[in-house]
Amino acid sequence: MQYNELLFELFYNLKALYQKNLKFPNISFQQILAILLIENSGVEMSYFSKKLGIDNSTVTRLIDGLEKKKLVMREREASDNRVIKVFLTKHGKKVNNIIEFQLDKIGYAIERQFNDDSKGEIIESGVILNWAIIKYLNR
C-alpha cells in the first residue's frame, strides 16, 4: 500500500469512526470538533479555520451556532481589539467533558485490539506520522 492510499484510508476510517461514535443531541459533528479545539485560555477565530480546514466565513457560522446553543462565548482581546477569542461556557465545558469521555472509550476499544508489545510501536509511529503531517501543513 502506498502512503497516499494509507493516509486516505486512515482519514476516512477515522472520520467514520468518530462520526458514528461521537454523538451529542443537537450538536453537529463539525461543532463537536470545534468544541474539542477550544482550550481553557480560549482560541482565536482564525485557529478554527486552520485546524478544521474551513473558510473564515464558515468558522463564523459555526461559532454562531455554538453561541446560540450557549456552548461558547466570544470576547475581544484586551491588548488587540481586532482579535476575537472563543471560550467554552460552563455548559460548553460539561459537553466537552462528555465528548472527551466518548473519545477515551473509542481509544480504549481500539487499543484493546493490540498486544502490549505492539502498542508502543503504534504510538511512536502515530506520533511520527502526525509530526510529518503538521510539517507538511506548515510549509
pLDDT the model gives residue 49: 92
d(CA 11, CA 132): 15
pTM higher than 0.85? yes
**Weakest mean pLDDT among 12-21, 36-45, 111-120:** 111-120
CA dist 113 and 107 (Å) reads: 10
pLDDT of 25-63, one tens digit each? 899 999 999 999 999 999 999 999 999 999 999 999 999
DSSP 8-state symbol, 122: H
Q: In the predicted model, what is the mean pLDDT of residues 85-93?
A: 97
Q: Does pLDDT of 109 surpass 90?
A: yes
Query: How high is the pLDDT of residue 63?
Result: 97
Q: Mean per-residue pLDDT for 99-112? A: 95
The percent of residues above 90 in pLDDT, for the chain, comes to 80
Query: Do 93 and 40 meet the contact criterion of CB atoms below 8 Å apart?
Result: no
Give the DSSP H or E segment for 84: strand 84-88
| Domain total of the chain | 1
**Which residues lie across from 86 on neighbouring strands?**
43, 74
> 81 falls in which pLDDT band (50, 70, 90)?
confident
Task: Give the domain CATH number at 81.
Answer: 1.10.10.10
Question: What's residue 78's pLDDT?
Answer: 84
pLDDT in tens, 90-105: 999 999 999 999 999 9
Range of the domain at 124: 3-137
